[in-house]
Chains A and B, each alone.
Chain A
Amino acid sequence: MINYETRQDGDVAFAAFTREGVYFEVPTATGQTEEEIQAALQRVIDLHILISSNRGG
C-alpha cells in the first residue's frame, strides 16, 4: 500500500508521494478505483527504477 496525497492542478488530479527519497506525482483519472491507482503508482516506481538503472539518468 502506497500512501499518497492528492494535488489538484487545473483539471488534473495528481497523486503525490515520496518513495526512498524520490518525490513522485502521478496523474489520476476520474472514476479510477483505489486498486487501479495503487497499480499505477507501483508501475511508476518500477519504471523509475528501470530508467535510473539502465540510463544512469
Chain B
Amino acid sequence: MTVFIGGTEITDIQIGSTAINSVYVGANKVWDRVTSLDTQTVTVGEYISGSNPNLRGYGFGPTTGGSISDGTSNMYSGAAYYTIDTLIDLSNGLGWLVQLIINGTQPNSGWTTMTIDGVAFDRADISFHSVSSGKTYWVWGDSPRPQTNPFGTTAGITKQVVFT
C-alpha cells in the first residue's frame, strides 16, 4: 500500500534516526517500506544517429555509451547489465522507448519495478520480455510511451536506477 502527502508518495519514515518499516492504523497495515533489490548509478551517455539525427538515445549501453556502477545485477546472481537506456525517434511523435538488457538468459521474474530517477516502470507493464543471442530484454515501447525521458538529455550527469 502506498501513502501520499498531497501528491508526494511517502518512501521513508523515521523516528529520530530509527527507520520505521511498517505503519498500522489500528490492526490494519497501511504502509510497508519498499526494500531495494538492486541500485545502479548510471552516468548518462548520449547517442545521435549519424544517418538519422531524429533517432536518439540516452543512458548506458553499447550505443549510447555512458557507464554504470556497479554494473552487476543482484536479482540475477551478478549478471552484467548490458543496457539501460531510453530511445526516441523525434520524427514519429511516439515518445520514449525504454529498454533494460542483462547478459545471459534470465527469467521474467525476480523484481517488480525499475525506477529511473524517480520514474517507475513496472515489469507487469512491459511491451515484452525476450531472450535473444545470450541477452535478456525488457522493453517498454508500446503506446502510450512516456513523453518525458527520465535520463534527461544531458550527457555526463548521473541517475540512479532502483529495482524493487
Q: Which of B124, B130, B142 contacts A23 (CB 8 A)?
A: B130
State the interface size on chain A (CB cutoff 8 A): 23
Q: B27-61: contact bitstring with A at CB < 8 Å (1 yes, 0 no)?
A: 00000000000000000000000000001010001
- With a cutoff of 8 Å between Cβ atoms, the chain B residues found around residue A21 in the complex are 132
Given known A47-B139, A51-B139, contact A56–B128 (CB-CB < 8 A): no
Complex: A32 Cα to B87 Cα, angstroms: 28
Q: How many A-B residue pairs have CB under 8 A?
A: 64
Which chain B residue shows the least CB distance to A14?
B108
Across the interface, do B63 and A57 meet the contact criterion of CB distance under 8 Å? Answer: yes
Instruction: Give the secondary structure class of A's interface.
Output: mixed
Q: How many residues of B are in contact with the other chain, CB < 8 A?
A: 27
A22 and B132: CB pair below 8 A? yes
Tell me which residues across on chain A come within 8 A of B57, comparing CB atoms.
55
Residues of A within 8 A of B63 (CB): 55-57
Q: What residues on A are CB-neighbors of B126 within 8 Å? A: 27
- Mark out the residues of chain A between 11 and 25 whose CB falls within 8 Å of any chain B CB in the assembled complex: 11-12, 14, 21-25
> Are A47 and B108 interface neighbours, CB within 8 A?
no
Shortest Cβ gap from A2 to chain B (Å): 12
Q: Do residues A57 and B130 form an inter-chain contact, with CB atoms below 8 A?
A: no
Name the B residues within 8 Å of A56 (CB-CB): 62-63
Q: B interface vs A, CB < 8 Å?
A: 55, 57, 61-63, 82-83, 87, 97, 99, 101, 108-109, 124-132, 135, 137, 139, 141-142
> Would you give 8 A-B contacts (Cβ < 8 Å), ordered by A?
A9-B108, A9-B109, A23-B130, A25-B128, A43-B142, A47-B128, A55-B87, A57-B62
